[in-house]
Structure 1
């Protein structure tokens, strides 16, 4: 017998002797407990009679199930609940503040990735069509991305050219409009004198001069440099390309990083959120196009200058729900006021209000549907928070982010178990 086998035999004998000792101790425990009058798991029950009195024993403290000591039991229940909520809210607030600081620090990366996700959700159906037409995935992605980029560049070129051509005429009519307003202030119901007009103009100019530095510093703090813009644009293009081509693989990789028990739930919530984001982006593009066409047609009918740039502005503004199209429509009203007078401006104002009513009461519920329905108060708060945190980009991203989080939280909070994927292999373990 080798030395290893002798050591193994000794360990085996020690293990067997230990087990025999444990069995003997368990067999003797009930008998010893009965002889000593002590309650045991086999013979539970009070040692003394119910009427017996134990000298020197204290009455047990009356404690709630949620308390761990007498001190906690003396604290009112409502105060304990408030304290428990308070420290949990403090922890959540600290974590949220830390996340916001991190996002603010790497915003040059976060913002392009968010824009790339929105573009990917918008262009994903086109890539799917080309894939069904037997295009290679990389080629389909490149064709869609280049086509979308060409459409954006062409539209911006037309807008800029038309705006440059019409600026001199609009400047001349703006001066005429300002003189008309001054005459109306003199001869109208206000009856302002020249000295009052001059004083108000001087006060307005002094206010602008006094706040120029504030406006300039705020613009410089929120606007990025040319290098950052170019870096962000390149990152958007590359991220959009890889999201469109390898989005499913990237998502599966991220899901595999989670615990096994949480993978299916998170995968179900993520896919539902992606469907919500795609529905939101496509519906927003359609609604924005209808708004731009509706307002642009009336601008052409009433011969308002910059009809196409103003329609493009309305289209871009419609991506900020509720307030975006209204503000961009207000610019069209001001141009109509300067160029064609108050009557045309009032008509354009009525058109803008009518289009907004149709959008809010017909297009949004019909096109968006219940899948991405968000309460208007949540939309307003989200837009305000986005503007404060990230400016115009934050306003664009806030509402789709709220829609995605709404869907994800609902799916994660649901008690239903996601369906088993058709390609899943379930391995059943044998009972021990």
Structure 2
């Protein structure tokens, strides 16, 4: 009979498991687990990204016989701290000046631009739009925004505190990631039957190579994008070029959409200077993306991920809808891990059968 088929048993068991999870969630049984995962997620995520960036340098230092593992890691940490100090020494004053100028002058420029837009509407709307209505709606919106800010001030303070905690914890997590990474594979092999140990090691090795290639390559591409956009901003003469370039560096870690998101502040600022400058910003983006797509990305990334561009775009859209910028950040490497795991396991299955 059909209900005795193994697939029916598996589907029934799966449905019962989902029902059990649903009711356990209603009873808040998973709340402690959610808190633990939420607390550890960001430190582990940031430390994981930094691990793949710093691992090649630690391995290079380990080649020197007089350099023990702990000293190699601390040396890399010291070099990074020194680089940050030097950068802050030369750039801190410029960044502070631009941030202060941006904070003080941009609202006034936006207000002036809004007033000019109102005058344009009054002269050309022919009664179809009411400036007073637009002003009332804008006032209502900003009033609600201010009220929401006041109501969520506790959450904002909590977020800032959490970010500070993450910054403090990450170096310690990263240190042990770099120090004890050789223990990870033997630990994972404890959960795999002995006859599949070789296959398990191969899967983990492939995953490590894919993640290392993607993270190191994407960070490199993001820094190159930021440097090229900074040069472009200086050429077109836009204000706050350094801050805008730093913003591009942060967002360009996300492929495809990151550079587009990164120029949004530049477009806003360019409109306050000269509307024609917004066109120059877009032209600069196109040129930089052409240089990146034809020169930088093939050299740094190559085809090591082997993911179709359409797949990447769809993954980023879904990840953004689910988890925002963080979702977009981890969607591609997570997909690469799953893809490598499934392909390897299927290959091993075919070899054994």
* TM-score over 0.5 (shorter chain): yes
Greater CA deviation, 87-96 or 264-273? 87-96
- Count of residue pairs the alignment pairs up: 340
In structure 1, what is the equivalent of residue 343 of structure 2?
410
CA contact (8 A) 1:295 1:311 kept: yes
CA contact (8 A) 2:236 2:280 kept: no
Deviation at 1:225, TM superposition (A): 3.7
> For 2:287 and 2:72, how far apart are their aligned partners in 1?
40
> For 2:125 and 2:176, how far apart are their aligned partners in 1?
62
Q: Say whether 1:348 aligns with 2:348.
A: no
CA contact (8 A) 2:319 2:331 kept: yes
CA contact (8 A) 1:291 1:318 kept: yes
What does the per-residue CA deviation read over 1:79-125, in whole Å, with 9 as the maximum and x for residues that have no partner? x97x6785476478679988x97456521112211211111001111
Q: Say whether 1:110 aligns with 2:45.
A: no
Alpha-carbon RMSD = 3.7
> For 2:280 and 2:311, how far apart are their aligned partners in 1?
32
2:250 is aligned, of 316, 319, 322, to: 316
> For 1:276 and 1:96, how far apart are their aligned partners in 2?
33
The structure whose Rg is larger is: 1
Structure 2 gap segments, 5+ residues each: none
CA contact (8 A) 1:330 1:349 kept: no
Q: Say whether 1:203 aligns with 2:137.
A: yes
Q: Which has the higher helix share?
A: 2
Deviation at 1:159, TM superposition (A): 6.8
Q: 1:361 to 1:107 in 2, by over 3 A?
A: farther
Higher relative contact order (CA 8 A, sep 6+): 2
In structure 1, what is the equivalent of residue 80 of structure 2?
148
CA contact (8 A) 1:141 1:244 kept: yes
Deviation at 1:344, TM superposition (A): 1.3
Q: 1:88 to 1:275 in 2, by over 3 A?
A: farther
In structure 1, the residue corresponding to 2:206 is in which secondary structure? helix
In structure 1, the residue corresponding to 2:348 is in which secondary structure? coil
> What TM-score does the superposition give when structure 2 sets the normalisation length?
0.80
1:270 is aligned, of 204, 221, 233, to: 204
> What TM-score does the superposition give when structure 1 sets the normalisation length?
0.67
Deviation at 1:224, TM superposition (A): 4.3
1:121 is aligned, of 41, 52, 73, to: 52
